[in-house]
Amino acid sequence: MVEGRAHEPEDVPRHVPVLPAEVLAFLGPRPGGCYCDGTVGGGGHAEALLAASAPDGVLLGVDRDGEALAAAADRLRPCGGRARRMHGDYRDLAALAAAAGLGPFDGILLDLGVSSLQFDDPSRGFSFRRDGPLDMRMDRAGGGPTAADLLRVAPPAELEAILRDFGEERWARRIARALAATRARGAIATTAELAGLVERAIPRRAWPPRIHPATRTFQALRIAVNRELEGLDAALADAAALLKPGGRLAAISFHSLEDRAVKTTFRRLAAERAMEILTRKPVTPGAGELAANPRARSAKLRAIARPIADCGIAEC
């Protein structure tokens, strides 16, 4: 299944956290608790966790996107010193938590993927609905290659593999060939150029019924540019290791590749008796949430808990 937030209608609310009640139900924030949002984004879930753990719960908000962190800072300002922020990658959560002097945690949230803030900003290049430079980097300050760079230098076979593996795009070969042929005439620099190329590469009769034909291509490039699936399983296991006994980890995914990584890792940790699974099946948004926030439609939440009897780590 492809990314829900990538093909949303225009008139949906911005910066609305997905599955907010479910996140609170699984993480169970309480006064005095210590929480971590490893993908703090616009700060929606973080705000809810801080409100539910008032007056003295603390939260570490991490994001690799400095612009998201600035938005979260605005939103969380009323929480004062209870809200702490670190710019970084959740794959380095142990080091970030140590640097912030926080942890182990009562609850950790990873709300994976791209935020509305990122999708809705044409200058970020994530959306085929908004023309802009083909950037797609979550961490622009990090200076890594953009999606346009990737399209300029990747061999056709690599482009095909990216589209197939990260977009589950059945027309991967055709699109990759069209990309390679086009760059001989000049670089693809904008989201509109890329969307138009994909529209022309896929036969019209084969366009997917409910999504834009470029949806899978945009998802695939975004995952490749940000290396989103690399080390996700290790990051989930590392996050679980940062929980106190009884602490909980919730992960929200938006496409099948992410959900598979979450499900497999959680099952492995449960088989090793390191963690208990709280969600036999993924939790999905109800009709009320979907009516109010159609962007939530691909969301799947899974949660695990560290057994109380496991006293392997010290209390903070």
Q: Give the footprint of ligand SAM on this chain (CB under 6 A).
A: 15, 17, 39, 41-45, 62-65, 68, 89-91, 111, 113, 115, 138
**Cβ at position 289, least distance to ligand SAM in Å:** 13
CA-CA distances (angstroms) from residue 202 to 56, 63, 161? 55, 36, 17
Q: What minimum distance in Å lies between the beta carbon of 115 and ligand SAM? A: 4
Distance of closest approach, residue 254 Cβ to ligand SAM, in angstroms = 7
Residue type, 117: L
Q: Which of 272, 147, 115, 112 is nearest to 221 (CA)?
A: 147
- What are the residues whose beta carbons fall under 8 Å from the beta carbon of 80, sequence distance 6 or more? none
Nearest CA to 115 out of 241, 3, 197, 10 is that of 3
Judged by CB, which is closer to ligand SAM: 51, or 153?
51
Whose Cβ is closer to ligand SAM: residue 42's or residue 57's? 42
In the complex with ligand SAM, which residue's Cβ is closer, 160 or 228? 228
Which is closer to ligand SAM, CB of 119 or CB of 128?
Answer: 119
Nearer to ligand SAM, 126 or 128 (CB): 126
Min separation Cβ 193 and ligand SAM, Å? 24
The distance of Cα 116 from the centroid of its chain, to the nearest Å, equals 11
Q: How many residues does the chain have?
A: 316
Min dist. Cβ of residue 171 to ligand SAM (A) = 27
Give the Cα separation of 139 and 136 in Å (integer): 9
Which position's Cβ is nearest ligand SAM?
Answer: 41
Tokens of 265: 């890792």
Give the nearer residue to ligand SAM in terms of CB position, either 172 or 251.
251
- Shortest Cβ 16–ligand SAM spacing (Å): 8
Q: Which residues have a Cβ under 8 Å from the Cβ of 68 and sit 6 or more positions away?
A: 40, 41, 42, 115, 117, 118
